[in-house]
């Protein structure tokens, strides 16, 4: 089950009820927090201390 959802122009992220972060869409400049290509389906983003905090889509 998904919880909060935030959307940018080319990508979307959601925090699942489990607390895990999933993102999908365009990965231009690493906007998804993932390396590599864009994602068509929700993909788990591994959070590290450097990546935690507020996410502002855009």
Contact criterion met (CB below 8 Å) for 34 and 15:
no
pLDDT of residue 53: 52
Ordered by start, the domain boundaries in the chain are 2-41
Q: How open is the CA angle 36-31-39, to the nearest 5 degrees? A: 50
- pTM of structure: 0.69
Q: What is the DSSP letter of 5?
A: E
The model's pLDDT over 31-55, given as tens digits with 9 standing for 90+, comes to 777 778 888 788 888 876 655 455 5
């Amino acid at each position: 089950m998904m919880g909060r959802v935030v959307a940018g122009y080319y990508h979307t992220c959601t925090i699942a009820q489990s607390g895990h972060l999933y993102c999908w869409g365009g990965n231009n400049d690493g906007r998804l927090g993932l390396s590599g290509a864009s994602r068509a389906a929700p993909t788990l983003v591994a959070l590290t201390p450097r990546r935690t905090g507020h996410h502002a889509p855009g």
